[in-house]
Amino acid sequence: MLKIGATNTLKILRQIPFGLILDSDQGDILLPNKFVKSDMEIGQELSVFIYRDFKDRLTATTQTPKAEVGEMATLMCVDLTKFGAFLDWGLDKDLLVPKSEMDENMEKGRKYVVQIIHDHKSDRIIASSKIKSFFNRDLEGLEKGQKVDMMIYRKTPLGYTVVVDGQYEGMLFDNQVFKFVRPGDRVEGFIKTIREDGKLDLTLQQEGYEAVVNSTDDIIGKLEEAGGFLPYHDKSNAEEIKEVFQMSKRTFKKVLGGLYKAGKITLDKEGITLVK
């Protein structure tokens, strides 16, 4: 069954002056000449993305969109009209966000997290920035400490709302952020708490033994890059530690203690020195 707004595998039926005609259960679909390659042959099956062109005709393309129907993505607003905004999603035809699907008024040149949807009333592919209604609240199978992909969605007074693995809603509190992030960024993180309200609390840094091991490697690496000395110690400002080492001061002090006891560094009021 043909899926609009998704990648389909379709067979080449014939060639016409405008391109190749592909077979589908919804009739013939054109792959325009601009996407036709010399090694394409009649009877060959092609992986193509199906959407509606500027004249609302079902059309195939070999271009790859930044997201398909049912997925969330961070897309740039490239144009504004009285009925909505257009986003760049990697195809020649930009993606419409109708005003009725805007969580906030959009601005040209800004990026927004949106859900790609198939509007069955118009049979068109559109985007919605009202993503809260699309989150999966069934957290069964997720585990504390699990590594996840996070897409920063929105800054809040407490931290950042994030999209987790493209389908769950999460919260990344300010005290768990040890590097610069902004809406639209994709970062790796870990589940800190699985909440009963169907949301997740997250952290950018692993907890416990794994966090210390990874942070130890990070500090040794930075010392080697700096020639064996860094002007930081266990009395350094927490914000400095966060900015330079991208970890909490608590983890930093724990790692320094371990490295000192192992004889890998020396510590004084000037900073950290790597023992060679």
CATH number, domain with residue 266: 1.10.10.10
Q: Are residues 85 and 122 in the same domain?
A: yes
pLDDT of residue 212: 52
Higher pLDDT: 23 or 248? It is 23
pLDDT of residue 179: 75
> 0.95 exceeded by the pTM?
no
Q: Are residues 199 and 212 in the same domain?
A: no
Most confident of 75-84, 246-255, 263-272: 75-84
Whether 70 and 127 have beta carbons less than 8 Å apart is answered as no
Show the domain range for 196: 147-203
244, two tokens? 């330079």
The yes-or-no verdict on residue 9 having pLDDT over 80 is: yes
Q: Is 50 helix (H, G, I), strand (E, B) or coil?
A: strand
Tell me how far apart the alpha carbons of residues 33 and 37 are, in angstroms, rounded to a whole number.
8
- Assign 3-class secondary structure to 229-272: EECCCCCCCHHHHHHHHCCCHHHHHHHHHHHHHCCCEEEECCEE
**Burial (Cβ within 10 Å: 0-12, 13-18, ≥19) of residue 34:** exposed
The yes-or-no verdict on residue 6 having pLDDT over 50 is: yes
142 domain residue, yes or no: no
What are the tens digits of pLDDT across the range 174-224?
877 777 888 888 888 899 899 999 999 998 876 654 555 567 777 888 888
Tell me how far apart the alpha carbons of residues 147 and 143 are, in angstroms, rounded to a whole number.
9
**How many domains, the chain?**
4
Cβ neighbors of 228 (< 8 A, separation 6 or more) are 273, 274, 276
Give the neighbor-by-neighbor strand order of the sheet with 265-268. 229-230, 271-274, 265-268
Mean pLDDT across 224-231: 84
Q: Are residues 76 and 57 in the same domain?
A: no
67 domain residue, yes or no: no
1 domain residue, yes or no: no
What are the tens digits of pLDDT across the range 43-99?
999 999 999 888 888 999 999 999 999 999 999 999 999 999 999 999 999 999 999
Whether 51 and 64 have beta carbons less than 8 Å apart is answered as no
Widest Cα–Cα separation across the chain = 78
pLDDT of residue 45: 95
What are the tens digits of pLDDT across the range 94-145?
999 999 999 999 999 999 999 999 988 888 899 999 998 899 999 998 988 8
Lookup result for tokens 């118009």: 122
Q: Are residues 248 and 214 in the same domain?
A: yes
For 182, list phi and psi in degrees, rounded to 5: -150, 160
Higher pLDDT: 242 or 21? It is 21
pLDDT of residue 209: 42
pLDDT of residue 207: 60
Mean pLDDT across 27-32: 94
The yes-or-no verdict on residue 11 having pLDDT over 50 is: yes
Residue 6: name the closest of 56, 55, 71, 75 by CA: 71
21 domain residue, yes or no: yes
Residue 201: name the closest of 164, 251, 154, 165 by CA: 164
Tell me how far apart the alpha carbons of residues 120 and 125 are, in angstroms, rounded to a whole number.
9
pLDDT of residue 171: 93
